[in-house]
Amino acid sequence: MKAEHLVVFVEEPSMAAALESLLPKIIGALSFQIIQFQCKDDLVKKLPDRLRGYRWMPENWAILVLVDRDDDDCVALKTTLEQAATTAGFVTKTCANKGQSFQVINRIVVEELESWFFGDWTATRKAYPRLPETVPQKEQFRNPDAISGGTWEALERLLQRAGYFATGLRKIECARAIAGSMDAENNTSHSFALFASALKEIA
């Protein structure tokens, strides 16, 4: 389907800040609105009712639901999101038959937003140039979606060693700074690739 407007549900403010810069790079001139929830649990809990509230929307509108995996089982989390959309009467991208139109896209960031920043280390270093260029070559960072011990914590440690955020990572500021330089066509995070490809399909 080709959409004329995109509504995005996100779980926290740093994701909203990143998407303000990222979405135009992926969907071009397509208009969008970002709706921010208090946290992931809040989004998941309220999602069925919020989706039912959008049953009025035109057929050429689309909804993107974007949540972090964190420590959840990815399949179980995706199933929960899919069931919320189906119960509300929507066809999702995942459940649509070939050629069938859909209005809801559910995507999971593995494991957190910061994995996308590790996936575009050039953009991350452009925002924070004292970071080591060689980080993606290290075994623990080669796969951005498989960084152990918490992705944002790993990024915070690297930034602090480079002399940034001595009092703690300011996630919204960081997200805005890095996303502004990110290349939507060049990211080694698989979850980012799935996110971007779904949006390109509707744009």
- The residue written with tokens 């999602």 in the block is 47
Q: What digits encode the pLDDT tens for the residues 167-188?
A: 999 999 999 999 999 999 999 9
62-80: average pLDDT: 96
Q: Is the pLDDT of residue 99 over 80?
A: no
Number of domains forming the structure of the chain: 2
The SS3 call for residue 32 is strand
Q: Dihedral sign for Cα 153, 156, 160, 165, please.
A: negative
Distances (CA, A) of 90 to 3, 18, 37, 60, 132: 15, 27, 21, 13, 45
105 and 119 housed in the same domain: no
22 and 81 housed in the same domain: yes
As given in the structure block, the two tokens for residue 55 are 């049953």
DSSP 100: -
108 and 118 housed in the same domain: no
35 and 13 housed in the same domain: yes
Distance CA 191, CA 189 (A): 5
88 and 128 housed in the same domain: no
Distances (CA, A) of 186 to 98, 126, 133: 27, 15, 16
39 and 107 housed in the same domain: yes
Q: Is the pLDDT of residue 89 over 90?
A: yes
31 and 89 housed in the same domain: yes
Domain extent, residue 77, equals: 5-112+186-202
94 and 194 housed in the same domain: yes
Q: What digits encode the pLDDT tens for the residues 8-62?
A: 999 999 999 999 999 999 999 999 999 999 999 999 999 999 999 999 999 999 9
107 and 49 housed in the same domain: yes
75 and 157 housed in the same domain: no
152 and 194 housed in the same domain: no
CATH of residue 61 = 3.40.50
Q: Specify the amino acid at residue 17.
A: A
